[in-house]
Amino acid sequence: MEHKDLAKAYWKKNLTYVGILLFIWFMASFGAGVLFVDYLDQFMIGGFPLGFWFAQQGSMYVFVVIIAIYMVVMNKLDKEFGFDEE
């Protein structure tokens, strides 16, 4: 493949990953912690109403996991396309 097409394909995959991860980001914070918080509060987790837990704990843990996944998949993608730095 030409360098230009390679870069294009790489960028497209990157956008897909970012799109999926940002959807999870939105659902964990604005979804579970804001929009559906009252509905989720009827369930309990470790002594916390679930919505409250997402608003004050869970969303932050999800954020950490999102960045960890992003780091792993992007490092793999860099290698796959030969764009990784030595």
Q: Is 56 exposed, middle or buried (0-12, 13-18, 19+ CB in 10 A)?
A: exposed
Q: Kindly identify the residues of this chain, within the stretch 3-32, that bind other proteins according to CB under 8 A.
A: 3-4, 6-7, 10-11, 14, 18, 21-22, 25, 29-30
Q: Which of 43, 61, 76, 80 binds other proteins (CB under 8 A)?
A: 61
Check: CB of residue 44 under 8 Å from CB of residue 54. Answer: no
**Residue 50 engages other proteins in binding (rule: CB under 8 A):** no
Question: Interface with other proteins includes 64 (CB under 8 A)?
Answer: yes
Residues 48 and 29: their CA atoms lie apart, in Å, by: 16
Closest CB 20 distance from other proteins, rounded Å? 11
Q: Taking CB under 8 A as the rule, does residue 74 contact other proteins?
A: yes
- Torsions phi, psi for 45 (to 5 deg): -140, 115
